[in-house]
C-alpha cells in the first residue's frame, strides 16, 4: 500500500481504546452452546428480566400513534419532571426538573459530562477496580484517567486521604465514583460519599457520581450525591434497576450553571435521545412494583452465592453490598483468572468475567460473577463450581 494511502486509513491515537475481554468469554460460551452445551451465564452485567410492562405498553401505544419526532435536547419535559419526582420520593430531595438531562444510557451521560467539565489533558481520578469505559472514554476525549487503587482496607472505597494525596502529587480536575460499584458490588456509606464529595469540592476537584446501580442496594440504602452538593454531577440510567439496557436511556442531574452547556452539547452531538425510549422510560416509573420483585430475586441470588460459594470452595470475595456482582478472589487456585475463567467455562460450563477487564494490576486474581439470572441458575452454578473445584 502507498505510504499516503496508509496514512489516510490510520486510526487516531486517541481512538486506541481496548475492547472488553468479556466479549471473548461470550464468544467462547456461544461456541459451547452451539455444540449443545448448557452454559450458566454470569459474565454479562445485565438483567435477565424485560422492561416493566408499563414501559412496554407505553412504547406500543406510541408506535401505534404514529410519528415519533425529535424531542428537546434535554429530553421530554414530562419525563424530566418524572425523574425529578423520583428524587423527591426516594430521597426527599426537591430537584428542579430543569436540572435533569435525558441521555442515551449513562454511557451517553459520561461523554456529555466529561465534555462539559474537562479540557483535553485534564487529569480525572477513577477507582481501580472499576468500570473500564470510564478510563477509555476519558482517554478518547483527550483527558488523562488517573487510576487510584482501592483495597479491602477501605472496603474498596476511595477515601478523601487517597484522593487528596493524588491531587498533591499532581493536580486533578475531577473524580468519578460509583456506589454500588461495578465490578466489586461494594457500596460507599452515605458518610463516606459525603466526606469524599466535600473533600473533592474543597480542593477544587469536580465530583461525578455514577448512580446506575441505585435501586439495587441490599446492605444499606444508597445515597445520592445530588443531595450532598448542588455542584456534584450525577449520572444514572434505566438500564439496571428498570431492566432497560437495550432501550439506551439514562439521565444526569446537572449543576445549574452547566445546564445550558449540556443542552448545547447534546443538541449538536445527538439532537435528542430516541423518543420511543423516552416515552417508555417515563412509564417505567409506574412499574416499580414489578421491578422491586426483580430486585428481590437478585437478593435471593446474592444469598445463594454468599452461602453457597464458600462451601463450593470460593470463600474469598468482596462485600456484595449492591448491584448484581460478586467479585471473588481466585488467587488460591491460579495466577491468572483469565485462564481460570476459560477452564471454568470449558469444563464446568459456567461463564464469568476475568478481573483483568476491570483492574490492570490485580485483576488477574479476581473473577466477577453477575447474579442477575434465575434462582435455579445460581444453585446450579454453585453446584457446578463445587464439583469442578473438588
Ligand X SMILES: Cc1ncc(COP(=O)(O)O)c(C=O)c1O
By CB under 6 A, residue 157 contacts ligand X: no
Q: Which stretch binds ligand X (CB under 6 A): 67-75, 101-109, 282-290, 382-390?
A: 101-109
Task: Output 37 or 246, the one with its CB closest to ligand X.
Answer: 246
Nearest distance, CB of residue 210 and ligand X, angstroms = 5
Cα angle, residue 130 at apex, residues 129 and 136 outer, rounded to 5°: 125
- Within 8 A by CB and 6+ apart from 268, the residues are none
Smaller CB separation from ligand X, 239 or 349: 239
Tell me the window of 10-18, 103-111, 140-148, 289-297 that interacts with ligand X (CB under 6 A).
Answer: 103-111
Using DSSP, state whether 115 is helix, strand or coil.
helix
Q: Which of 52, 75, 105, 129 binds ligand X (CB under 6 A)?
A: 105
Exposed/middle/buried for residue 107 (C-beta within 10 Å: 0-12, 13-18, 19+): middle
Q: Decide if 101 contacts 259 (C-beta within 8 A).
A: yes
Tell me if residue 215 falls in helix, strand or coil: coil
Min separation Cβ 356 and ligand X, Å: 16
**Judged by CB, which is closer to ligand X: 237, or 337?**
237
Residue ranges with strand state E in the chain = 40-41, 100-103, 123-128, 144-149, 174-178, 206-210, 233-237, 250-253, 325-329, 350-351, 353-354, 366-370
Q: Exactly one of 106, 184, 186, 278 binds ligand X (CB under 6 A); which one?
A: 106
Interaction of residue 182 with ligand X, rule CB under 6 A: yes
Query: Nearer to ligand X by C-beta: 130 or 382?
Result: 130
Are 21 and 366 spatial neighbours (Cβ–Cβ below 8 Å)? no
The least distance separating ligand X from the CB of residue 386, rounded to whole angstroms, comes to 28
Residue nearest to ligand X (CB): 105
Smallest separation (angstroms) from ligand X to the CB of 332: 27
48 near ligand X, rule: CB under 6 A: no
Nearest to ligand X of 177, 348 (CB atom): 177
Residue whose C-alpha cell is 416515552: 279
Kindly state the smallest distance separating residue 143's Cβ from ligand X, in Å.
Answer: 17
- The piece of 57-65, 104-112, 260-268, 340-348 that touches ligand X (CB under 6 A) is 104-112
C-alpha 82/C-alpha 170 separation (Å) is 41
Of residues 190-219, those binding ligand X (CB under 6 A): 210, 212
Q: Which of 245, 261, 316, 331 binds ligand X (CB under 6 A)?
A: 245
Q: Nearest distance from residue 164's CB to ligand X, in Å? A: 24
Task: Kindly tell me the burial class for residue 306, based on how many C-beta atoms sit within 10 Å of its own C-beta (0-12, 13-18, 19 or more).
Answer: middle
CB 194 within 8 A of CB 188: no
Residues 337-366 that bind ligand X (CB under 6 A): none
DSSP state of 357: G
Q: Is residue 107 part of the contact set for ligand X (CB under 6 A)?
A: yes
Residue whose CB is less far from ligand X, 59 or 212: 212
Closer CB to ligand X, 19 or 387, in the complex: 19
Nearer of residues 239 and 353 to ligand X, judged by Cβ: 239
Number of residues that bind ligand X (CB under 6 A): 13
- Contact status: 45 vs ligand X (CB under 6 A): yes
Q: Which of residues 298-337 bind ligand X (CB under 6 A)?
A: none
Nearest CA to 242 out of 218, 215, 272, 273 is that of 215
d(CA 302, CA 186) in angstroms, rounded, equals: 13
Contact 255, 113 (CB under 8 A): no
Tell me whether residue 150 or residue 382 sits nearer to ligand X (CB atom).
150
Tell which one of 86, 87, 118, 131 touches ligand X (CB under 6 A): 131
Minimal distance, residue 184 CB to ligand X, in Å: 10
Instruction: Tell me the backbone φ, ψ of residue 262, rounded to 5 degrees.
Output: -65, -40
Instruction: Give the chain's radius of gyration (CA, Å).
Output: 21
Contact 180, 213 (CB under 8 A): yes
The residues of the shown chain that bind ligand X, judged by CB under 6 A, are 45, 105-107, 131, 178, 182, 210, 212, 237, 239, 245, 250
Amino acid at each position: 500500500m502507498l505510504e499516503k494511502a496508509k496514512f489516510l486509513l490510520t486510526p487516531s491515537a486517541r481512538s486506541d481504546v481496548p475492547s472488553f475481554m468479556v466479549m471473548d468469554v461470550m464468544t467462547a460460551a456461544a461456541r459451547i452452546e452451539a455444540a449443545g452445551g448448557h452454559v450458566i451465564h454470569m459474565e454479562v452485567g445485565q438483567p435477565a428480566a424485560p422492561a416493566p410492562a408499563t414501559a412496554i405498553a407505553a412504547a406500543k401505544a406510541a408506535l401505534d400513534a404514529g410519528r415519533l419526532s425529535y424531542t428537546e435536547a434535554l429530553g421530554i419535559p414530562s419525563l424530566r419532571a418524572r425523574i425529578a419526582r423520583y428524587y423527591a420520593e426516594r430521597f426527599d430531595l426537591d430537584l428542579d426538573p430543569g436540572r435533569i438531562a435525558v441521555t442515551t444510557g449513562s454511557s451517553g451521560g459520561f461523554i456529555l459530562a466529561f465534555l462539559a467539565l474537562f479540557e483535553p489533558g485534564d487529569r480525572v481520578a477513577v477507582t481501580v477496580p472499576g468500570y473500564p469505559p470510564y478510563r477509555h472514554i476519558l482517554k478518547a476525549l483527550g483527558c488523562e484517567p488517573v487510576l487510584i487503587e482501592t483495597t479491602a482496607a477501605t472496603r474498596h472505597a476511595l477515601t478523601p486521604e487517597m484522593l487528596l494525596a493524588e491531587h498533591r502529587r499532581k493536580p486533578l480536575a475531577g473524580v468519578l465514583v460509583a456506589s454500588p460499584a461495578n465490578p466489586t458490588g461494594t457500596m460507599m456509606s452515605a458518610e463516606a460519599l459525603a466526606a469524599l464529595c466535600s473533600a473533592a469540592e474543597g480542593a477544587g476537584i469536580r465530583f461525578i457520581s455514577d448512580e446506575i446501580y441505585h435501586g439495587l442496594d441490599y446492605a444499606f440504602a444508597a445515597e445520592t450525591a445530588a443531595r450532598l452538593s448542588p455542584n456534584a454531577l450525577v449520572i444514572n440510567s434505566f438500564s439496571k434497576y428498570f431492566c432497560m439496557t437495550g432501550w439506551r436511556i439514562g439521565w444526569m442531574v446537572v449543576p445549574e450553571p452547566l445546564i445550558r452547556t449540556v443542552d448545547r452539547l447534546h443538541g449538536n452531538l445527538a439532537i435528542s435521545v430516541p423518543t420511543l425510549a423516552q416515552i417508555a422510560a417515563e412509564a417505567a416509573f409506574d412499574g416499580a412494583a414489578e421491578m422491586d420483585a426483580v430486585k428481590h430475586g437478585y437478593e435471593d441470588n446474592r444469598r445463594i452465592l454468599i452461602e453457597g460459594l464458600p462451601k463450593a470452595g470460593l470463600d474469598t470475595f468482596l462485600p456484595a453490598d449492591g448491584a448484581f456482582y460478586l467479585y471473588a478472589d481466585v488467587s488460591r487456585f491460579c495466577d491468572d483468572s483469565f485462564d481460570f475463567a476459560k477452564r471454568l467455562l470449558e469444563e464446568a460450563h459456567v461463564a464469568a468475567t476475568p478481573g483483568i477487564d476491570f483492574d490492570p494490576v490485580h485483576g488477574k486474581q479476581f473473577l466477577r460473577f453477575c447474579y442477575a439470572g434465575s434462582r435455579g441458575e445460581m444453585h446450579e452454578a454453585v453446584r457446578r463450581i463445587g464439583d469442578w473445584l473438588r
